[in-house]
Amino acid sequence: VTGAVPSCRRYVAGGRCKSTAKLEGKVVIITGANTGIGKETARDLARRGKVIMACRDVSKAEAAASEIRAETGNQQVIVKKLDLADTKSIREFAEEFLAEEKELHILINNAGVMLCPYSKTADGFEMHLGVNHLGHFLLTFLLLERLKQSAPARIVNVSSLAHHGGRIRFHDLQGEKSYNRGLAYCHSKLANVLFTRELARRLQGKFQRQVEFTANSLHPGSVSSELVRHSLVMTWLWKIFSFFLKTPWEGAQTSVYCAVAEELESVTGQYFSDCQPAYVSPRGRDDETARKLWSVSCELLGIQWD
Which residues are the active-site residues? 185
Residue type, 207: F
Could you give the CA distance from residue 170 to residue 77 in angstroms, rounded to a whole number?
40
Q: What is the C-alpha to C-alpha distance for residues 95 and 199, in angstroms, rounded to an integer?
A: 22
Pairing of strands 271-273, 276-277: antiparallel
- Alpha-carbon distance 32 to 101, whole Å? 20
Is 168 in a helix, a strand, or coil?
coil
Query: d(Cα 81, Cα 90) in Å, to the nearest integer?
Result: 9
Q: Please list, in sequence order, all residues whose beta carbon lies within 8 angstroms of the beta carbon of residue 172, skipping any fewer than 6 positions away.
A: 178
Question: Measuring CA to CA, which residue among 146, 296, 144, 128 is closest to residue 227?
Answer: 128
Q: How many CB atoms lie within 10 A of CB 136?
A: 27
In terms of Cα–Cα distance, which of 90, 95, 93 is closest to 78? Answer: 93
Q: CA 181 → CA 165, 251, 302, distances in Å?
A: 12, 23, 26
Amino acid at 146: R
Exposure of 247 by Cβ count < 10 A (0-12 exposed, 13-18 middle, 19+ buried)? middle
CA–CA distance, 93 with 97 (Å, rounded to integer): 6
